[in-house]
Amino acid sequence: MERETEQSPKTKMESLRTICDREFSIQQQKIDSFTASFPSSLNSIKYLALDTAQNHAKLAKMKANLREAEDELVKVLAAKTRKEAKQMATRDSISAVKARVEELKRTVQVQRSRREEYGAIISRQSLALSKTEEDAEHEIEENGGIQEAISWYNRVLGFQIEGGHGVKFTFNDINIKNPKEEYSFTIRHANDAYSLLDCNPNLNGIKDLINELNRTNDLFGFVRTIREKFQEAAALGLQPQSTTFHQDCSTISLSGPALSVSSNRSESSAKKNEHHIPLQDANRQFKKFSHGSKSPAKARSRFMNYLE
């Protein structure tokens, strides 16, 4: 029993040795096989590395070619874009030229129409100019009539007219006792209306006379009426007072459309006739002055403008 026990480890050792020898043989064979195949594997790896390097070179070359192709593509696209932009600009230019041509055609038509219109205007202006020249000549003649009428009034019954802010009428030969004593009134014509600036001496009802003047525009009748009122005031002993009313003006020795009308006074008939102007003569002179005017009102307004 003990013998069997002693042989058993030995047997086991032999068995293990046999196994080890067999494994060693196997591993030796593997090593020999690996050693035999290593050079070929190394050569294969070298070939693979060389091939890989070649492939890398080819890849780099392909990348360079690709970059060149991309650059060429960009250049081509840029050239195409420029060409398209140039074509669009050309089309726009053609459209603009066509529009300009149409505009010029319309302008030519408008100019022709304007030329005809201007021709008609020039024709009308020529006619108007001719009429204006005729009116100017007529107005010169009328101004000559004014001077002639003024000269007549001055010869018959002289007084002074001062033109400035208004027109001041100064009468002499009102007071028979003092013929040099001056009676005056000042009126102004503005905005188609008359206004009284001063009256010396002051007369009753003068505002009503101004209203009547604005209603009728009868300046010469107003002047005659005022002179009559002055004569009546002088007959009653009312004398003009010294006045502080002055205006920047120039004194003109002119005539007035004035005349005397008989009043209830205590003078002799001979003295009254010395200052009496026949109404028919005065009206005849005014008709001569206003002859050719469109209306007596226009003649009176023109007379006021002439004085102012």
Residue 248 has pLDDT above 90, yes or no: no
Select from 285, 286, 290, 287 the least CA-distant residue to 302.
290
**How far, in Å, are 76, 78, 90, 135 from residue 84 at the CA level?**
12, 10, 10, 72
pTM summary value: 0.42
Residue 199 has pLDDT above 70, yes or no: yes
Gap between the Cα atoms of 130 and 121, Å rounded: 14
Gap between the Cα atoms of 118 and 225, Å rounded: 54
pLDDT bracket for residue 246 (50, 70, 90): low
Residue corresponding to tokens 């920047």:
248
* Token duo for residue 243: 């006045």
* Token duo for residue 107: 């302008």
Residue 253 has pLDDT above 60, yes or no: no
Looking at every residue in the chain, the average pLDDT score rounds to 77
* 3-state secondary structure labels for all residues of the chain: CHHHHHHHHHHHHHHHHHHHHHHHHHHHHHHHHHHHHHHHHHHHHHHHHHHHHHHHHHHHHHHHHHHHHHHHHHHHHHHHHHHHHHHHHHHHHHHHHHHHHHHHHHHHHHHHHHHHHHHHHHHHHHHHHHHHHHHHHHHHHHHHHHHHHHHHHHHHCEEEEEECCCEEEEECCCCCCCCCCCEEEEEEEECCEEEEEEEECCCCCHHHHHHHHHHHCCHHHHHHHHHHHHHHHHHCCCCCCCCCCCCCCEEEEEECCCCCCCCCCCCCHHHHHHCCCCHHHHHHHHHHHCCCCCCHHHHHHHHHHHHC
Select from 189, 147, 197 the least CA-distant residue to 297.
189
Mean pLDDT of 48-75: 91
Q: What is the pLDDT of residue 277?
A: 43
Residue 38 has pLDDT above 50, yes or no: yes
Residue 187 has pLDDT above 90, yes or no: yes
Gap between the Cα atoms of 92 and 95, Å rounded: 5
Mean pLDDT of 139-150: 69
